[in-house]
């Protein structure tokens, strides 16, 4: 079956490493784990796994995220391939993906099983291999993506308040945003629906809940307009 052409070519271990992101306490968090085996046993690591034969790389990434979070239907995007030699005892070519999940849906029993924890992106420890670089590139990519696509909502529950949404963007861009300008912009796109209930957890007055309405977003796009924060 294998063509003669491939006979003398090298084969490589190929892994996926996933930057699994969640949002909690006004900050982006990343799921990291203590590596349970050599090399680099005990070092902080992203969630990863090997790509199998007969499995697309995208599917492998999806499998890994589901395995470590218990969450399905996840928003993911490829960050890129990292293929320096000496990444590992044997060279592994790794393809990084970031995933945006609703941290509330996270199956916490898996955290114990894999010795995994959510760490604030501003307080990440040094990670093994080139994982810190992967995170850096991810944040960069996320900043550019979140500015023009409504992907931030994947990090929130179905209902969220505008103060929460704003703090999400502040955490992504790592800078403060003016409250009035932010509200003006997000509401002017008319892609959110205001609920009747308020969230009273973080203020006495309470903040109204909103929902992202995909149909309204599709409409916006159809009009030749764009999402932009």
Partner DNA sequence: GAAATAAGTGTTTACTTTACACTTGTATTT
Partner DNA sequence: AAATACAAGTGTAAAGTAAACACTTATTTC
Point out which residues bind DNA (CB under 7 A): 161-163, 178-181, 183-185, 198, 200, 202-208, 228
Closest by Cα among 178, 189, 124, 180 to 153: 189
Identify the residue whose tokens are 């790509």: 51
Q: Considering beta carbons, is residue 151 or 189 the nearer one to DNA?
A: 189
Binding flags for its own copies, 134-153, as an x/- string (CB under 8 A):
----------x---------
Which one of 63, 78, 114, 183 is in contact with its own copies (CB under 8 A)?
Answer: 78
Query: What's the start-to-end Cα distance of the chain, in Å?
Result: 52
Residue 164 DSSP symbol: H
Q: Which does 200 bind (CB under 5 to 8 A by kind): DNA, its own copies, none?
A: DNA
> DSSP string of 40-96?
STTSEE-EEEEPPTT--HHHHHHHHHHHHH---S-EEEEEEEE--TTSSSS-EEEEE
Closest by Cα among 109, 100, 116 to 44: 116
Q: Which does 54 bind (CB under 5 to 8 A by kind): DNA, its own copies, none?
A: its own copies
* Nearest-approach distance from CB 193 to its own copies, in angstroms: 31
**Residues within the interface to its own copies (CB under 8 A):** 1-3, 5-6, 9-14, 37-39, 50-58, 60, 78, 80-85, 89-91, 93, 95, 144
């Amino acid at each position: 079956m294998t063509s003669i052409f491939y006979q003398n070519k090298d084969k490589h271990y190929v892994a996926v490493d996933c930057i699994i992101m969640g949002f909690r306490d006004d900050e982006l968090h990343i799921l990291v784990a203590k590596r349970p085996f050599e090399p680099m046993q005990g070092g902080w690591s992203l969630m990863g796994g090997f790509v199998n034969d007969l499995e697309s790389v995208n599917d492998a990434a999806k499998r890994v995220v589901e395995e470590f979070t218990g969450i399905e239907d996840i928003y993911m995007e490829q960050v890129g391939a990292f293929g320096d030699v000496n990444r590992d005892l044997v060279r592994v070519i790794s393809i990084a993906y970031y995933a945006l999940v609703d941290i509330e849906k996270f199956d916490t029993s898996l955290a114990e099983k894999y010795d995994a924890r959510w760490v604030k992106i501003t307080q990440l420890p040094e990670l093994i291999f080139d994982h810190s670089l992967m995170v850096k590139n991810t944040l960069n990519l996320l900043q550019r993506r979140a500015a023009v696509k409504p992907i931030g909502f994947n990090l929130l529950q179905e209902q969220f308040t505008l103060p929460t949404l704003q703090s999400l963007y502040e955490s992504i861009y790592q800078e403060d945003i003016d409250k009035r300008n932010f509200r003006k912009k997000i509401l002017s796109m008319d892609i959110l629906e205001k609920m009747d209930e308020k969230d009273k957890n973080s203020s006495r007055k309470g903040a109204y809940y909103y929902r992202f309405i995909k149909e309204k977003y599709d409409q916006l796009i159809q009009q030749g307009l764009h999402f932009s924060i």
